[in-house]
Amino acid sequence: MTSMLKCVFIFIAFSFFPIRAFSQLFTSSNLPLVLINTNGQTILDAPKIIADMGIIWNGSGKRNSLSDPKNNYNGKIGIEKRGSSSQMFPKKSYGVETKSNDLVTTDFSLLGMPEENDWILYAPYTDKTMIRDVLTYTLDASLGHWSPRCRFVELFLNGNYEGVYVLMEKIKRNKNRVDIAKLLTTDISGENLTGGYIIKIDKTTGNSGAGWYSNYSNVVGNTYYQYDYPKTDVIVSPQGTYIKEYVRSMETALYQGKFTGTGSYHDFLNDSSFIDFMIINELAKNVDGYRLSSYLYKGKNDRINCGPIWDFNLTYGNDLFDWGYDRSHTDVWQFNDGGNTGARFWKNLFDNATFKCYLSKRWMELTGTNQPLNYSIISKQIDATVAKITEAAGREQSRWYTIGNHATQISSMKS
């Protein structure tokens, strides 16, 4: 049975489940509760519709009941579906924008995370453990990088129980997220033109997809870079040209093997961020790593950094799509694994003996005793993350029938 047919079968079977009856059996949770009321409207892929959202959170270690006050947030939001292929699943992910009562986009602190207005309610539908994204962002943050902060919640939509979700930060230029300079449309020369920028390698779903192709191909073609910050409807021509030529200069230096001296790739990128990005993606065996959901950012008067990391649901052996072979191999490099191949510059970097040496040294450092990527430390982090959702996992299974025996799923992931 193909992946698409499986999804259709699950959706048809699910349509007969008495959702509201299950919701009425709900009493309380150890997780925060998110309640959204669309007031009779249908949530679209775009644009956002206006809805009401309340968050009930009585603090760490305390129970949260539907009858409790909406004490963490109680106001207006804009909401839309988000994702590309994930939109075919019955459990949807959503983009949420917090607003004032007069519908002005306004920053709020949700569940203890820094104030912002752009948030994501991520549905871990294809991840039977429900923790892969949260775990990997936590591991990456332990290496000293900004990764999206996350909070497990249980969602009620229009009175219906929707299961376990992750309320999380969206990748965005912000002092508390990707901390780079704000680029004004008047910044078209000199030092101000040098940053900041965020570029992504991804599907073009969800934006105009404006960008450029790499001059250098890998085995599946030329990588396409998209403008992410400033957005394509904001970035002006000198800025678009500057960052495109900067990335191309980096690629050319690597392609031509300029590993030392003036004009080498070191003039264009920070090795340490690329090394850590590679380690996290290879550790997780991210089948979408490098070729999708990959970001680069550049601050003012700085070189290019790789990251932030994003989208780790198809990791740690969780390759759900039938491509004729298992893409999550443990004996190959993901950046150079046939159809998974990312931008050409990854192979060029890896061909550099010095880069490879630093990569190995960093790996040994991070996997040593009591270090963040040591297996025993990761295993404890998995257990701590699972403990947060053990209670809710049963409700998730009753709602969606997707996770089966949760303990078995976690054990398989660890192995």
pLDDT tens-place string over residues 77-106: 999 999 777 778 899 999 999 999 999 999
Q: 386-391 long-range contacts, Cβ below 8 Å, gap at least 24?
A: 386/129, 386/131, 386/410, 388/30, 388/31, 388/152, 389/31, 389/130, 389/131, 389/152, 389/164, 391/29, 391/30, 391/31
What does each C-alpha distance from 96 to 48, 119, 122, 145, 216 come to in angstroms? 8, 5, 10, 24, 37
What is the pLDDT confidence band of residue 388, given thresholds at 50, 70 and 90? very high
For 131, the token pair is 């923790």
User: Which of 76-90, 152-166, 316-330 reaches the highest mean pLDDT?
Assistant: 152-166
What is the pLDDT confidence band of residue 1, given thresholds at 50, 70 and 90? very low
Closest alpha carbon to 80 in 66, 67, 97, 62: 97
Closest alpha carbon to 87 in 11, 149, 36: 11
pLDDT at 20: 58
Between 335 and 104, whose confidence is greater? Answer: 104
Average pLDDT over residues 361-372: 97
Between 200 and 46, whose confidence is greater? Answer: 200
Average pLDDT over residues 22-34: 86
- pLDDT over threshold 80, residue 18: no
| pLDDT one-digit tens code per residue, 114-142 | 999 999 999 999 899 999 999 999 999 99
Which residues are 108's β-sheet partners? 116
- pLDDT over threshold 60, residue 10: no
For 414, the token pair is 């660890």
- pLDDT over threshold 50, residue 233: yes
What is the pLDDT confidence band of residue 402, given thresholds at 50, 70 and 90? confident
Using DSSP bridges, classify how beta strands 64-65 and 49-56 pair: parallel, antiparallel or unpaired.
unpaired
Query: ∠ CA 311-312-318 to the nearest 5 degrees?
Result: 135
* Helix locations, 110-230, DSSP H: 132-142
- pLDDT over threshold 80, residue 320: no
For the ranges 83-87, 224-228, 279-283, 342-346, the lowest mean pLDDT is seen at 83-87
pLDDT at 14: 39
pTM for this entry = 0.92
Contact at 8 Å (CB) between 309 and 137? Answer: yes
The pLDDT > 90 percentage for the chain reads: 78
What is the pLDDT confidence band of residue 330, given thresholds at 50, 70 and 90? confident
Query: What gap in Å lies between CA 102 and CA 217, rounded to an integer?
Result: 50
For the ranges 149-158, 171-180, 185-194, 401-410, the lowest mean pLDDT is seen at 401-410
Average pLDDT over residues 367-376: 97
Determine the residue type at 336. Answer: N
Average pLDDT over residues 304-315: 96
Site of tokens 């340490």: 272
Query: What gap in Å lies between CA 81 and CA 96, rounded to an integer?
Result: 9
Between 55 and 203, whose confidence is greater? Answer: 55
pLDDT at 89: 86
* Mean pLDDT computed over every residue of the chain: 90
- pLDDT over threshold 50, residue 391: yes
pLDDT at 206: 63
